Amino acid sequence: MAASAVVGALACQVDSYLRNFETTVVSCRQIKTAPPSKASKKSKLPTTPSDDTQECFEVELKDTILFPEGGGQPSDHGVIATPDAEFPVLAIRRALLTALHQVPKHIEPNTLVKLEVDWKRRFDHMQQHSGQHLISAILDQMEVPTLAWSLGEKVSYVELPRKLTDEEVLEVEDRCNDVIRQGIDIWVEVPDKDLVNKNKLPDDYDAERGILRVVHIGNLDANPCCGTHLKNTREMGSITLLHQLPIRGLNSRLHFMIGDRVREYARESNNLTRALNSRLSCQTEEIELKISRLESQLRDSLKREKLWMADVVKAEAARVNEELKLVKKSYVYRGDIVGLDYFNSLVVEMGKLEPNSGVVILASGAGKNGGALLVIGDGADKVASKIRDDCIIKALKGGGKGAKWQGKITQWEKGEVESLEAFFDRLEV
Ligand SMILES: [Zn+2]
């Protein structure tokens, strides 16, 4: 006989509405670090501290109202209170048939403890989990089996063997909400073990010594499950089906939210809509039209910019070539751009730079945005080395050989643009 209640017959599974509970500590042992919780990791729910210098203990209790993760449902959060102290419990894991509660301090065996479950989190999990059973039951009737499911922090999903059509999604949602309104009872049955489909049991669950439960939704559904469930479909409030995402070939993840999450989602959507109304200065019905107009304006602007840029490049290339002919050096600085694209176009427009044509210094960017430096022509690498050696631009990195050197300027410091210009004026070619 096990000293504690087995997973399958824990107090939280027998009566999922217990919020407080008294029990005793059976054992407590230190573990090196909190073992990573798979479900929690997946759903980004908080886990026990990962800092391995922190102490962590696993407590086995005579019985518990804190659900260990299982059946796709993440572990509860709660509090264990001894007569002298209170400890947060942020992870409970199942080890074979035993629930182990992770706490930051050692608790002596036989200590009488009081448990409290984080009811908001638990009730939310019950809404999502019972709701998932309902969605899957309706999908089963439409001959779409559920292959897997995940209870996420904000949004959950069922994985299906194919993408549903928009009409099917609406139909499933309508039928689920109809069942919710009918107020159908949900209950747990512990039938004869031979009658239970054991395919869905975890590999390490001892079916002989454990308890096999079947969760019923009226006559609609009977599903082997270890989770904590609502008593009536009415407690789900409502079900909203969201987007689908393709996964593993033809499979599709149908996302959903249930109960209080639907209200939260409506609140967030409303806030977003109001922000868009204000930013775009328009009514909700006009948002799409307004964005289309902005997109079209942006496309036109980019087209215009390209044309103007071509004109500017042409004029600048002519000026540079003229200067090279006259004084064998030229300098271009553009504070309004950061990268090298403009200079690359300029170099193409200038045409081939023959040896002994002179040297061109091209610099871009300003202040904290940084910029680029391109030196081309006779002894370009030596000119660039001099700029670096003389510390004219401190945050300059780059390289090149012979007639081409290019580099990045992480940031322009005050006065550096002027220093570069003065350097160019002094430059003898
Ligand atoms: Zn389940």
Domain boundaries, the chain: 11-117, 122-273, 324-426
Confirm if 240 and 40 have CB atoms less than 8 A apart. no
CA dihedral 8, 13, 14, 16 (to 10 degrees): 180
CA of 37 to the centre of ligand 1 (A): 18
CA of 3 to the centre of ligand 1 (A): 27
CA of 198 to the centre of ligand 1 (A): 13
Q: Which CATH architecture has domain 324-426?
A: Roll (3.10)
Same fold: 11-117 with 122-273: no
CA of 10 to the centre of ligand 1 (A): 16
Distance (Å, rounded) from C-alpha 228 to C-alpha 212? 14
pLDDT score recorded for residue 204: 81
End-to-end CA distance of the chain: 95
* Chain center to CA of 178: 33
CA of 203 to the centre of ligand 1 (A): 16
CA of 229 to the centre of ligand 1 (A): 8
Query: What fold is seen in the domain 11-117?
Result: Elongation Factor Tu (Ef-tu); domain 3 (2.40.30)
CA of 339 to the centre of ligand 1 (A): 55
| 122-273 CATH | 3.30.980.10
CA of 157 to the centre of ligand 1 (A): 13
Residues whose CB is less than 8 angstroms from the CB of residue 404 and which lie 6 or more positions away in sequence, other chains included: 374, 375, 376, 380, 381
CA of 225 to the centre of ligand 1 (A): 4
Instruction: Name the E strands within 4-50.
Output: 20-31
CA of 88 to the centre of ligand 1 (A): 26
pLDDT score recorded for residue 194: 78
Local mean pLDDT, 10-residue blocks, the chain (429 residues): 82 97 97 59 46 79 96 96 96 94 96 98 98 98 97 97 98 98 97 78 80 94 95 98 96 97 96 96 95 96 94 96 96 89 93 94 95 95 93 93 93 95 93
Distance (Å, rounded) from C-alpha 187 to C-alpha 192? 16
pLDDT score recorded for residue 87: 96
Confirm if 185 and 215 have CB atoms less than 8 A apart. no
CA of 374 to the centre of ligand 1 (A): 64
